[in-house]
Amino acid sequence: NGTFVLMGLRVKGWQNASMASIRHALAPALLLATLAVTPAVAQEEAVELPEGFSQKMADRVTEVIEAVPPIRRLPAAESVAYEVVDSEAFLARLQDKLREDYPAEYIEAEENAFKRLGLLGPDQDLEKLTLKLYDQQALAAYEPETKTFSIIGPVKKIGPTEKIIVAHEYGHALQDQAFDLAAFYDEDPDAADRIWARAALVEGDATAMMYDWAARELKLSDLLSVSAQALSQQDANKLNRLPDILTRPLEFAYIDGYAFVNALRGQGDWDAVDAAFADPPASTEQILHPELYPKEEPVRIELPDVAAELGSGWTASYEQTMGEMQTHVWLADGKKAQSLFPALPAQLPNSEAAAGWGGDRLASLDGPDGAWAVVWQTDWDSKVDQKEFRSTARKVMKDLPGAHSATNADIAGGLSSPVLVLVADSDATLGDLEEALGI
């Protein structure tokens, strides 16, 4: 089960290609976000072509595939089947996969946690937003379990954009064969930060390879054509209307992952990237700050049994590690940053308050009579970082419903520069929570 994380939801076994990446891949020239997708490889025997796929189109796919392995310096992958599916069929399959891997109560718990933190609006639906993003952005998908590459059609030609998709996705096929993507991703659904860090390595690798392929194989006119399609203001506007907790992780995997892989290649080219698959990044902090990889490991935080401390009727419905990347989304508080290029990602506000992240653990709890609470224990690299996060967190929470606090309390034990964020449905619940935690 290769895993792709989106808003905390892990879509197991699916890697997806999105138009969002086309906006980010070749800086102003092409941005192609394909979340681990793989096309068919050249095959000696005749095979049945996808419906609507001509032999000429298949030949062009094969040409791209044959050019990729020497660029990435990995052996050619064994035969990978490909198909063309329409967007409606793709979304139906994706929804089935989500529901197969995650029970409705898990999705509901995650949705509630994000709403309580203000990351989602009170009327927004997590599953529907996830599917909406794919509906707007998905170009292709690869399933490691079946080794099948699905192009979301209709596909009328294999032009520059389609070739870029094939190159990127065949890069994932090479990764799958060399590093076993199904085993590479963490199976723990409550380890989103670590999974996103690994996704950034996978996507950054494929994006860097795609850059190299495009520079070698595409003409300037082809790049300009792709750029014109990619830098669509309409496309950017659609993404901007979706919550940042959904869109920022998508950008992170490609853009920040690409920068991370570039940093690795500066130390030892593709050999250094290959070594990173054996010693994967442990946090999104390491991706955002490549100089911290691999030495600065996140602080491991274990929360006490808060539900038991609160008493009868309380349950912990959701636990997660947010990490620096998603903490930054929360601290930005829905504010958008301006960019010189509308189609390129801009730094969200308050990034300095998320830097210095050392570790965190969050629990969302449900109690009797509709009561609820969120307990988020964080730790920071220094007292300066601690103060900056605490101050910004208090500002972010001013417009949250219910009651909230941010103090230097440590309920995990042994933290050097802790900040404990508490959010509750009411002052009464917050008071009960603080008493139960001994604050």
- Residues 312, 313, 318, 324, CA torsion sign: negative
Helical residues (DSSP H) of 291-382, grouped into ranges: 306-310, 323-332, 351-354
- Give me the pLDDT at residue 134, please: 75
Asked if 43 and 276 touch (Cβ cutoff 8 Å), the reply is: no
Rounded Cα distance, 125 and 266, in Å: 42
> pLDDT in tens for each of the 439 residues of the chain?
233 333 334 444 445 544 333 333 332 222 223 333 333 333 444 456 777 788 999 899 899 999 999 999 999 988 777 788 888 888 888 888 888 878 899 999 999 999 999 999 999 999 999 888 877 777 777 778 877 777 788 888 999 988 998 888 889 889 999 999 989 986 788 899 999 999 999 999 999 999 999 999 999 988 888 877 765 556 667 777 899 999 899 889 989 999 999 999 999 999 999 999 999 999 999 999 999 999 999 999 999 999 999 999 999 999 999 999 999 999 999 887 665 554 455 678 999 999 999 999 999 999 999 999 999 999 999 999 999 999 999 999 999 989 999 999 999 999 999 999 999 999 999 999 999 999 9
- Give me the pLDDT at residue 430, please: 98
Asked if 278 and 164 touch (Cβ cutoff 8 Å), the reply is: no
Predicted TM-score (pTM) of this structure:
0.89
Asked if 355 and 365 touch (Cβ cutoff 8 Å), the reply is: no
Rounded Cα distance, 178 and 144, in Å: 12
Residue type for position 356: G
13: left (phi over 0), alpha (psi -120 to 50) or beta: left
Q: What is the DSSP letter of 253?
A: I
* Tokens matching residue 8: 């905390």
- Give me the pLDDT at residue 93, please: 86
Rounded Cα distance, 256 and 259, in Å: 5
Helix (H) or strand (E) holding 373: strand 372-380
Q: Which of 405, 401, 438 is nearest to 419 (CA)?
A: 405
Rounded to the nearest 5°, which phi and psi values hold at 251?
A: -65, -40
Rounded to the nearest 5°, which phi and psi values hold at 412?
A: -90, -35
Q: What SS3 state is found at 175?
A: helix
Pairing status of strand 81-86 against strand 138-143: unpaired
